[in-house]
Structure 1
C-alpha cells in the first residue's frame, strides 16, 4: 500500500493541487482542515508524514511539532512545512520540523524529499526517478546522505544544497537560488561562499560514488548530473 500523507490546510484549492501532484507520484493524501486534529488523524490513520500549509503569524506548526513529541511520534511521523512568504524563519527553526519549503516551490523538490524521507512503494513512480537516485538517497530524519546504503557526513548547508540539486535533478540552479534555499532568510552570503560549499559537497560525493555528479555551468550555477 502506498504511503498516506496528512495535509494540514484551510485552503481547499491548495489542497486539491497538492493532492493531484502527490497522487500522480504514488501517494495517498487526506485533508486536515482543523489543525488541532492533525496529529490524532496521523496517528489513527498511520500517516507517514504531516505536511503543513504554514501562514505568517500562525502557531499551527509549533503546536503540531509539540503534539508529535508529546505523543512520542516525532521519530515516526515526518513533519514538513510549506512556508508562505514573510513567515518568520525563526519560527520554523523553533518548531524543529524535518524539512521546510518556501512557497512557491517546485513540486520536484517536495517529491524528491518525500522519496528520500519516507520512500514510495509505487514501482511506476520509482521508474521515473533519475538513475542517480539508485545509488544515492537522502535520509531526512538523520540529516545525512546514503550512498549505496553507506552514510556520508555533510554539514547542514551541504545537505540542503544537495537536497535542492536532487530535487531539481538536471536543472541548473543559480547561486542566488541556492543561497535562498540553503541559508537562513535575510542572511548575507557571497556567491563565492556557495562555490566553497559546493566544492566540499562535490569532493564528498565523488569519494563515495567514484564519479563527479555535480556539473558546473560557468557564470550560471550548478546541477546534478543525472546521465
Structure 2
C-alpha cells in the first residue's frame, strides 16, 4: 500500500520539490501551506508521515506537533521537522515537542527521502505475530501495542523501536553510537545527542504512576534495559 505523506510547508518551491521527489519514490503526497489547515488535514486524513515546517502562517509547526502528540488518534504519526533554525537548542526543542527527526534548510532531497524511508521502515509492523516480554512489559510487535503491568503504554515510532531493541537485548549496555546504528540505521546521519532525547521520552512513558525506572544510564558507556537498577 502506498504511504501517505502530508507536507505542511508554506514555501511553494520547497513543497513542489518535496512532492516531486516523494512521488518519484512512489509515495502519495498532499500539501498544506497553512498551519491551521495542516493540523486539520493531519487529524482528518491520518497520514503515514508528516513533513512539518517550523514557521507557518496562523499556527507554528511546534504548536502543531504539540497538539498532534496530545491527540490519541495522531500521537504515533511520525513527524519530521523542516526548518531553517539550525541551532542545537532549536533541534532539541523540536525533538522534545515530539518530532521524530529534524532536517535543516537548505537540505538535500536525497537526504530527506532517505530519512522518510528510514522512519517508514521502522514503523511497519512485523508480518507474523510476535511478542516480547521483560520486567512486566509486554510488546506485541504485530499490533505495535505495549503494556506494562497490565496498563497500556503509548510510544512514538522511534521510542517504540528503541524499546524493542532493548527488549531483544535485556541487561546489555549499548553506547549511543551502537543505538544509532541499530535503531536509526547507518544510511542517515543523526547526532548522538538525539539518543538522549528519545531515551528521556521513553523513560517518561514507561515510568507513569511512579513505576520503577528500568532504563539504566551507565556512565561513559551508554544505556541498558535492566530491572535490577
Q: 1:68 aligns to what?
A: 68
Structure-1 separation of matches of 2:69 and 2:20: 30
Structure-2 separation of matches of 1:103 and 1:158: 28
Q: Is the 8 A contact 1:6 1:49 kept in 2?
A: yes
Please list, as runs of the form range in 1=range in 2, the aligned pairs for 1:28-47 lying within 5 A after superposition: 28-47=28-47
Q: 2:191 aligns to what?
A: 182
Q: 2:162 aligns to what?
A: 144
Q: 2:50 aligns to what?
A: 50
The partner residue of 1:97 within 90, 96, 99 is 99
Q: 2:9 aligns to what?
A: 9
TM-score (norm 1): 0.54
5+ residue gaps, structure 2: 123-156, 195-220, 223-229
Q: 2:115 aligns to what?
A: 113
Q: 1:124 aligns to what?
A: none
> Secondary structure at 2:20's aligned position in 1?
helix
Displacement of 1:65: 1.8
Corresponding pairs, count: 154
Structure-2 separation of matches of 1:90 and 1:146: 23
Change (3 A) 1:93 1:30: same
Q: Deviations over 1:178-216 (max 9, x none)?
A: 6xx41459xxxxxxxxxxxxxx99xxxxxxxxxxxxxxx
Q: Is the 8 A contact 2:86 2:104 kept in 1?
A: no
Change (3 A) 1:86 1:140: closer
5+ residue gaps, structure 1: 121-138, 168-177, 186-199, 202-227
Q: 2:187 aligns to what?
A: 166
Change (3 A) 1:63 1:23: same
Structure-2 separation of matches of 1:164 and 1:118: 12
- Computed over aligned residues only, the root mean square deviation of the Cα atoms, in angstroms, reads 3.6
Q: Is the 8 A contact 2:91 2:102 kept in 1?
A: no
> Secondary structure at 1:29's aligned position in 2?
strand
Change (3 A) 1:55 1:158: farther
Change (3 A) 1:158 1:15: farther
TM-score (norm 2): 0.54
Q: Is the 8 A contact 2:79 2:100 kept in 1?
A: yes
